């Protein structure tokens, strides 16, 4: 894994290179062929939250989303790692209420909101964060919707639960691989391992979905359209996913994952991108995904928002610029 990794981006302070991030990245087209790669695309990783659109696929393709009247906002939130701002938590609360459920039915744990205002509101009200504030509560609300549709048991995060079996089937169908195993994610749901190329192939499968007419592909189109229509629900204000999707003006759907994973879906090019920074640094994965998308002509490097991630400044506590991060691939 480390021997085959390449240098992805570096961190400068003054006139010296202070740190270096290494990893792997790959761009795949709709035929499954590699367009570009850095490092070894056959390395196996957990894609973590970057692949929530795959986990949302059974929610839509099963008919559960339509049965329970889910909107594009619900579907975008099912793919989200959100900030727990009011736009996220209010929608989750209403969603659960319409299912006849509550926060206690969510299997994800309580989490302090990333959104500053939401955090302050909890503090002022002397309240503790709950499961609705978990960044994966939208995904879990989707799991609960599918659980109700299937008439399955309450422990929907169990590996042998019908919901998780449907998710694994979606993973293996879109990646065209058999997963060698799984781990438990931060939200308690199973996360299946695949090659980096396999995850990129899945993203390319989503990117090319409009050219196909099967139920899964039509569902994929709805999922990507929802993400592109509501980028603020997929992550939140100040987040790379949201800001770069806006900067791309509908050309790319983006999703980050823990431990330095990032994916991109590019419908107009029918391509998918997957990258893994080996030290798990988000600052590196955000820089590298921006660089790859600039290289593919999807992002404009002159856009101030793109520049913010492409070569981010490092500021000290007094607001002084002390260095910057620089991508090494494009």
Q: Is the pLDDT of residue 2 over 80?
A: no
Owning domain of residue 257: 6-327
Band of pLDDT at residue 181, cut at 50, 70 and 90: very high
311 closest CA partner among 13, 21, 39, 9: 9
State the DSSP code for 300.
-
pLDDT at 49: 97
82-99 confidence digits (pLDDT tens): 999 999 999 999 999 999
Does a structural domain hold residue 123?
A: yes
Domain count for the chain, please give it: 1
- Taking a C-beta distance cutoff of 8 angstroms, is the pair 132, 118 a contact? no
Band of pLDDT at residue 41, cut at 50, 70 and 90: very high
| Residue 276 β-bridge partners | 24, 261
123-144 confidence digits (pLDDT tens): 999 999 999 999 999 999 999 9
Does a structural domain hold residue 156?
A: yes
Range 272-281 burial, b when 16+ CB lie within 10 A, else e: bbbbbbbeeb
**Mean pLDDT over residues 293-310, rounded?**
97
Structure-token pair, residue 183: 């781990």
Does a structural domain hold residue 1?
A: no
pLDDT at 322: 96
- Taking a C-beta distance cutoff of 8 angstroms, is the pair 263, 255 a contact? yes
- Taking a C-beta distance cutoff of 8 angstroms, is the pair 272, 264 a contact? yes
Alpha-carbon gap, residue 63 to 222, rounded angstroms: 12
**What is the model's pTM?**
0.96
Does a structural domain hold residue 65?
A: yes
Q: Is the pLDDT of residue 34 over 90?
A: yes
**Mean pLDDT over residues 308-330, rounded?**
95
Alpha-carbon gap, residue 25 to 5, rounded angstroms: 9
Structure-token pair, residue 219: 């569902």
pLDDT at 199: 98
Does a structural domain hold residue 91?
A: yes
**Mean pLDDT over residues 142-149, rounded?**
98
Alpha-carbon gap, residue 211 to 204, rounded angstroms: 12
Q: Is the pLDDT of residue 1 over 90?
A: no
Element (H, E) at 27: strand 16-29
pLDDT at 98: 97
Report the length, in residues, of the chain: 330
Say what percent of the chain tops pLDDT 90.
98
234-284 confidence digits (pLDDT tens): 999 999 999 999 999 999 999 999 999 999 999 999 999 999 999 999 999
- Taking a C-beta distance cutoff of 8 angstroms, is the pair 132, 107 a contact? no
**Mean pLDDT over residues 155-184, rounded?**
98
Those residues with Cβ within 8 angstroms of residue 195's Cβ, 6 or more apart along the chain or in another chain: 41, 42, 43, 44, 45, 175, 177
Band of pLDDT at residue 210, cut at 50, 70 and 90: very high
Handedness of CA 104, 107, 112, 113 (dihedral sign): negative
DSSP 92-152: HHHHHHHTT--GGG--SPP---SSHHHHHHHHHTT----GGGSTTHHHHHHHHHHHHHHT-
Does a structural domain hold residue 310?
A: yes
pLDDT at 330: 85
Band of pLDDT at residue 3, cut at 50, 70 and 90: confident
CATH number at residue 315: 3.40.710
77 closest CA partner among 225, 238, 184, 226: 226
pLDDT at 91: 98
Name the average pLDDT for the chain.
97
Place of tokens 């302050």: 120
């Amino acid at each position: 894994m480390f021997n085959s990794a390449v240098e992805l981006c570096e961190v400068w302070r003054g006139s010296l290179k202070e740190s270096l991030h290494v990893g792997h990245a790959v761009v795949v087209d709709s035929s499954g062929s590699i367009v570009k790669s850095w490092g070894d695309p056959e390395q196996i990783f957990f894609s973590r939250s970057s692949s929530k659109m795959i986990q949302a696929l059974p929610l839509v393709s099963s008919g559960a989303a339509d049965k329970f009247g889910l909107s594009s906002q619900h579907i975008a939130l099912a793919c989200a790692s959100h900030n727990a701002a009011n736009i996220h938590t209010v929608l989750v609360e209403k969603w659960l209420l319409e299912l006849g459920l509550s926060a206690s039915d969510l299997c994800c744990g309580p989490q302090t909101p990333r959104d500053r205002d939401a955090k302050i509101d909890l503090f002022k009200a002397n309240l503790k964060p709950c499961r609705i504030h978990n960044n994966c509560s939208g995904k879990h609300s989707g799991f609960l919707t599918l659980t109700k549709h299937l008439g399955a048991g309450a422990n929907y995060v169990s590996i042998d639960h019908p919901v998780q079996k449907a998710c694994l089937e979606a993973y293996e169908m879109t990646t065209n691989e058999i997963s060698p195993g799984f781990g438990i994610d931060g939200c308690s749901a199973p996360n299946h391992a695949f090659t980096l190329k396999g995850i990129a192939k899945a993203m390319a499968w989503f990117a090319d979905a409009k050219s196909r007419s099967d139920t899964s592909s039509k569902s994929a189109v709805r999922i990507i359209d929802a993400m592109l229509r509501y980028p603020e629900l997929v992550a939140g204000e100040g987040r790379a996913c949201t800001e770069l999707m806006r900067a791309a003006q509908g050309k790319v759907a983006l999703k980050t994952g823990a431990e330095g994973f990032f994916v991109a879906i590019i419908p107009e090019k029918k391509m998918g991108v997957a990258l893994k920074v080996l030290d798990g640094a988000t600052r590196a994965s955000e820089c590298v995904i921006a660089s790859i998308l600039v290289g593919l002509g999807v992002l404009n490097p002159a856009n101030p928002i793109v520049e913010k991630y492409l070569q981010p400044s490092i500021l000290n506590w007094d607001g002084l610029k002390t260095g910057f991060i620089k991508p090494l691939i494009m």
